[in-house]
Amino acid sequence: MNLEKVVFAFTIILALTLNFGFFTGDIGNAAHHNVYELYAAIFVNAIATILKFGDRTHMGAVLLAASLVADIQLVAAAGVWVYAVHVTDIGLTPAIVASIVSLAGGAVIANTISVSLLVIETVMLRR
């Protein structure tokens, strides 16, 4: 068993599950979406992105692109959260929470693409 591939797959799957955990819940209810889970998803997604650098295959390029999309979506979600809570006095209204969760939903799709490509690549490997 290749430890590098185990860590790679683990990180990609963990990024998806953390992101999905934040995404799940009532779209307008801030109590259903923990800020620490969002930041954990950002952190693990960043690690997954770093692990994808160096792969010079076409599949590696697509995996990196999907990971970068997820990173951008999650950082944008965190930016909206920070702006609403700390920059303005708006706070977490249902509309703001819906925007944050929608951005995280885009990242869920990008992470699902990454995991799907990982599974496809694994199935295509021949012994």
How far is C-alpha 28 from the geometric centre of its chain's CA atoms? Answer: 20
Q: Are 104 and 77 in contact (CB under 8 A)?
A: yes
CA distance 71 to 22: 14
CA distance 76 to 69: 11
Token pair listed for 50:
């770093």
Confirm whether pTM is higher than 0.85: yes
Instruction: Note down pLDDT in tens along the chain; length 127 residues.
Output: 789 989 999 999 999 999 999 999 999 999 999 999 999 999 999 999 999 988 888 989 999 999 999 999 999 999 999 999 999 988 899 999 999 999 999 999 999 999 999 999 889 887 6
